Amino acid sequence: MRKTGILVFCLTCIVLGYFTFTLSEKAFTSKWDLPAASDGQEVKYRLVLITQELETPFWDKAGIAAQEQARKDGASLEVWGSYGKNQEEFLKKLEVAIQSKVDGIIVQGLDTQEFTDLAKIKAAFYGIPIITVANDVPKSESLRKTYVGSDQYLAGQLIAEQLLDDMGHKGKVILMGDKHKEFYQQQRLDGIHEVLKEYPNIQTVYAETTDVREEIIAATQNMLNQNPDTDSFIAIKANIAGAMVQEIGRRSQVEPYYIYSFDDGPDSISLLTQGKLDGIIEQSPEKMGSLSVELILKWLRDEEVPLKSDGYLTDIRILKAMEKQ
Amino acid sequence: MNKIHKKIWTLTTVILLIMAGIWLTLTYYNQKTQNQYNDILQRYLRMNEVTRTSQQMIADLNNYFITPIPENLNKLNNSKEKMEHVKKDVSYLRNSENDFALTNYMNLIDSLVETTDRSLLFFNEKETEDSAKEFSEATRISMYISEMTLTLIDSELNTYERFYRGIIEQSEEIKKLGIGLMLMITCLLMFLTYGFSLSITKPVQKLTQAANELSRGRFHLPIKVDSNDEIAFLAKTFDRMRININNLISEIQQKAQLEHELQESKLLLKESQLLNLQSQINPHFLFNTLNTLSKKAYLEGSHETSDLLVSVAGLLRYNLKRLDRPVTLREEVMVLQQYMDIQKARFTDRLHLKMSIDEKCLNVDIPGLTLQPIIENAVNYAVEPREDGGNIWFRIQDGNDCVIIEVEDDGPGIKEYKIKQILQGQFIQKGGNSTGIGFTNVVRRLRLFYGYEDIMNIESSAAGTKVVMTIPKDRRGRHDKTPDRG
């Protein structure tokens, strides 16, 4: 009886001991992996890529490519920006970047006075190089080092040619653009007009709207009312395409219209896949991202001075709905 | 030998050490956690400090612009200094995750200070417009700093989230560990205490048992306690006491035995005396009468009758005198001869007595009237019932350290059970014609006198009986102890 008691007792002790041991092991081995303390010695170039449209497919690609390139070249890069073309936020980010004295700024160009002020005066004051990417600003007005992105003029031409191919040499085209006509939009528009002016049978109507969805819809309705015989739509600014297509769809079938846009809107690709767009201009955001980083680093390291002020153009091509399907 | 003392000390020390160990570990751990908490808090506080200081600086600058007195300027300079200071503090927060953001942050602080300086410069040079512009910029930067602080804190939270969760989990684990430890220590201590108390109480219990046994009078059980403390010592002492008591008791018992035996021998003697007295009516008268008869027989010329009467008288006198004192073998033999003379006169030719006596052995002490009853017995059984009589051999031989006395007859023998009875000292219903002092009486007296049992041997068969007595020459210590029979 007493032996059993002692045995049970010993067993309990062993079990408890084991339990306690494992617990103490768990409790005292710290499994916290704190971020490694930065050595702080290595002087890295700090770059910032600032865009107005964070988390759109186009800018995601550009951002990832830029970061990849920066890592390869031993620089640190962060992607900042605003969502949905929020200019105020975008400009604030730009100012913060300048005040933070980063080594280089890669920025989506914005053709406004505030942007120009910041880029021209502030950045220059602190000696921070600025490269515009994807959308350019007039080089005379800003002291940007260079531009990396598509030739928007060429893009306009391409889209006009595609329109001619699809529609023929006769018809009515509605061009929808932003009320605040940015530099790159102007370039696109110029490109389109350049091609279409050869064809007197093609009538172009230019409509202006803002970024606000309701206004886009209203503008589209207005255009459709005024021009019931229209054959084609071109959204000069890719962001407009979504609301525009939706409104056209509400009126009638989308298919009879030839609708074109660009790929730098948040829903461009999905609209194309759905067949609502007949074609878009596909740019090379990856190339833009990596090339811009490469160039700014070259500039910082004095490897390539000065940079071509005309810009470094990246590839564009027209992407048709048929291809996508 | 301070064993129990030592045991208690050891137990206490072990408990103390365990407790101290646990306490130290937990305290160390707590300290560590506390430090971590402090570090974490410090991080947040430092960041917050930046925001506050930057706002303070803007406020000071504004105050100075409104009332440009040296006191306000001093304040502004102070907060600028403080700004530098917190900037340095913030630099310690750098890690691989927030490297970029922190650099920006610190540069923002620089920018703020620079902008403030510029604003101040313009103000001092009375360029109010530029100054206001710079001031508004400084305000913006201050706002950016606040925002960035929030962003940094946010990212800090993200970075350290797993770390914080780890701390929470660990504190949970510690709680569990505490319970586990408590249970284990309870068990362990119970075990230790059990063993310890057992090591003290078990010997005590044994000792108690032994004491109980002793109190019940069982002194033969040895006391054995196999522990190594004072109890064992106590038990050893106790055991020695038991042995001593045991010895004393057995000694007392021996003494009582002796006393008993003495009493018995006294009784026997009384009995023989009584028997003697019964058989002798007025012995002195008889003795005198016998002497007179002897003389008369002698005067009348009957010599034989006279001799016989002398023998009877001598026998009678011997019986009267020698009964309560040891006599020598020589006297006994003499009495025996007188007795045999009488018996010869009685049985004439029918009794053939053959004596062979070693004279050297006759000085041995022997209780009185021991040989006569044996011979008488032989005569009664071997000679008297037979018409053609019988032979009796009486021999005294030297057996080195003892004297061997043999009485042999060729009678019909004694039955086996009777021999047993005699040798065991039981009284036998005897036949009518003995002198009174029986065989058994002799055996018991001899044994008492010499103090050992194996003094008489009886060999009996149909062809005769042989009684052999082995009398030691030296009575050893027995002599003094034998009380004087008077």
Task: Check residue B477 and give its pLDDT.
Answer: 43
Mean pLDDT throughout A38-47? 70
A96 close to B (CB below 8 A): yes
A101 close to B (CB below 8 A): yes
Residue B391 forms beta bridges with which residues? B352
Q: What percent of chain A has pLDDT over 70?
A: 94
Q: What's the CATH number for B3-205? A: 1.20.120.1730
CA distance B116 to B134: 7
Closest Cβ–Cβ partner in B94, B144, B159 for A96: B144
A71 close to B (CB below 8 A): no
- Place B181 in a pLDDT band, splitting at 50, 70 and 90: confident
Tokens matching residue B478: 């027995």
Please provide the average confidence, as pLDDT, over all residues in chain A: 85
Task: Check residue B479 and give its pLDDT.
Answer: 45
Is the Cβ pair A46, B103 closer than 8 Å? Answer: yes
Mean pLDDT throughout A78-100? 89
3-class secondary-structure state, position A320: strand
Task: Check residue B171 and give its pLDDT.
Answer: 83
Q: What percent of chain B has pLDDT over 70?
A: 92
Query: Which residue in chain A is spatially nearest to B102 when comparing CA positions?
Result: A100
Mean pLDDT throughout B235-262? 89
CA distance B280 to A225: 184
Task: Check residue B2 and give its pLDDT.
Answer: 62
Let me know how long chain B is.
486
Is the Cβ pair B188, A12 closer than 8 Å? Answer: no
Query: pLDDT tens for residues A90-138?
Result: 999 999 999 888 999 999 888 888 888 888 888 888 888 999 998 888 8
Tokens matching residue B47: 């960041």
Task: Check residue B277 and give its pLDDT.
Answer: 64
CA distance B178 to chain A (A): 9
Please provide the average confidence, as pLDDT, over all residues in chain B: 83
CA distance B4 to B199: 9
Chain A residues near residue B159 by CB distance under 8 angstroms: 35
Tokens matching residue B251: 């000694």
Write the CB contacts of A103 (distance below 8 Å, at least 6 apart in sequence): A45, A46, A47, A75, A128, A300
Is the Cβ pair A13, B103 closer than 8 Å? Answer: no
CA distance A163 to A192: 10
User: What string of DSSP letters covers B285-339?
Assistant: HHHHHHHHHHHHHHHTT-HHHHHHHHHHHHHHHHHHHSTTSEEEHHHHHHHHHHH
- Kindly tell me if the per-residue pLDDT of A324 is higher than 60: no
Write the CB contacts of B197 (distance below 8 Å, at least 6 apart in sequence): none
- Between A233-237, B113-117, B194-198, the lowest mean confidence (pLDDT) is in B194-198
Closest Cβ–Cβ partner in A12, A16, A34 for B163: A34
Tokens matching residue A325: 């399907």
Task: Check residue A34 and give its pLDDT.
Answer: 66
Mean pLDDT throughout B94-111? 86
Q: How many CB atoms lie within 10 A of CB B80?
A: 19
- Kindly tell me if the per-residue pLDDT of B227 is higher than 80: no
- Kindly tell me if the per-residue pLDDT of B35 is higher than 60: yes
Cβ pairs A/B, distance under 8 A:
97
Q: Which carries the bigger pLDDT value, residue B440 or residue B57? A: B57
Mean pLDDT throughout B171-175? 84
Query: Which residue in chain A is spatially nearest to B105 when comparing CA positions?
Result: A100
Chain A residues near residue B173 by CB distance under 8 angstroms: 23, 26-27
Is the Cβ pair B160, A34 closer than 8 Å? Answer: yes
Q: Where in chain A is the domain with CATH 3.40.50.2300?
A: 46-150+285-315, 152-282
Mean pLDDT throughout A35-61? 79
Which residues on chain B place their C-beta less than 8 Å from a C-beta of chain A? 25, 29, 94-101, 103-105, 107-108, 110-112, 140-141, 144, 148, 159-160, 162-163, 166-167, 170, 173-174, 176-177, 180-181, 183-184, 187-188, 190-191
A301 close to B (CB below 8 A): no
The architecture in CATH of the region A152-282 reads: 3-Layer(aba) Sandwich (3.40)
Closest Cβ–Cβ partner in B98, B107, B180 for A100: B107
Query: Which residue in chain A is spatially nearest to B195 when comparing CA positions?
Result: A6
Mean pLDDT throughout B75-100? 88
Query: pLDDT tens for residues B416-475?
Result: 888 887 777 766 655 544 444 577 778 877 887 887 778 888 888 888 888 898 888 876
Task: Check residue B77 and give its pLDDT.
Answer: 92
Interface test with A, best of B25, B91, B93, B100 (most A CBs within 10 A): B100
- Kindly tell me if the per-residue pLDDT of B224 is higher than 70: yes
Query: Which residue in chain B is spatially nearest to A33 when comparing CA positions?
Result: B163
Is the Cβ pair A17, B184 closer than 8 Å? Answer: yes
Query: pLDDT tens for residues A119-132?
Result: 888 888 888 899 99
- In chain B the first and final C-alpha atoms are separated, in Å, by 62
Closest Cβ–Cβ partner in A23, A76, A99 for B111: A99
Q: What percent of chain A has pLDDT over 90?
A: 18
Query: pLDDT tens for residues A165-174?
Result: 888 888 899 9
Is the Cβ pair B177, A16 closer than 8 Å? Answer: no
3-class secondary-structure state, position B95: coil
Task: Check residue B436 and give its pLDDT.
Answer: 46
Write the CB contacts of B167 (distance below 8 Å, at least 6 apart in sequence): A32, B33, B36, B37
CA distance B189 to B197: 12
- Place B323 in a pLDDT band, splitting at 50, 70 and 90: low
Helix spans in B216-229 (H)? none
Is the Cβ pair A32, B166 closer than 8 Å? Answer: yes
Is the Cβ pair A9, B187 closer than 8 Å? Answer: yes
Chain A residues near residue B170 by CB distance under 8 angstroms: 27, 30
- Kindly tell me if the per-residue pLDDT of B238 is higher than 60: yes
A46 close to B (CB below 8 A): yes
Residue whose tokens read 């035995």: B257
Q: What percent of chain B has pLDDT over 90?
A: 16
Burial class (CB within 10 angstroms; exposed 0-12, middle 13-18, buried 19+) of A238: buried
- Between A70-79, A168-177, A192-201, B429-438, the lowest mean confidence (pLDDT) is in B429-438
The domain spans of chain B are 3-205, 322-481
Is A46-150+285-315 in CATH node 3.40.50.2300?
Answer: yes
Q: CATH for B322-481, among 3.40.47.10, 3.30.70.1880, 3.30.565.10, 3.50.50.60?
A: 3.30.565.10
Task: Check residue B43 and give its pLDDT.
Answer: 86
Amino acid letter for position B346? R
Q: Which carries the bigger pLDDT value, residue B435 or residue B167? A: B167
A87 close to B (CB below 8 A): no
A1 close to B (CB below 8 A): no
Chain B residues near residue A78 by CB distance under 8 angstroms: 100-101
Is the Cβ pair A102, B104 closer than 8 Å? Answer: yes
- Place A42 in a pLDDT band, splitting at 50, 70 and 90: low
Task: Check residue B20 and give its pLDDT.
Answer: 93
User: What string of DSSP letters covers A79-127?
Assistant: EEE-STT-HHHHHHHHHHHHHTT-SEEEEE---SHHHHHIIIIIHHHHT
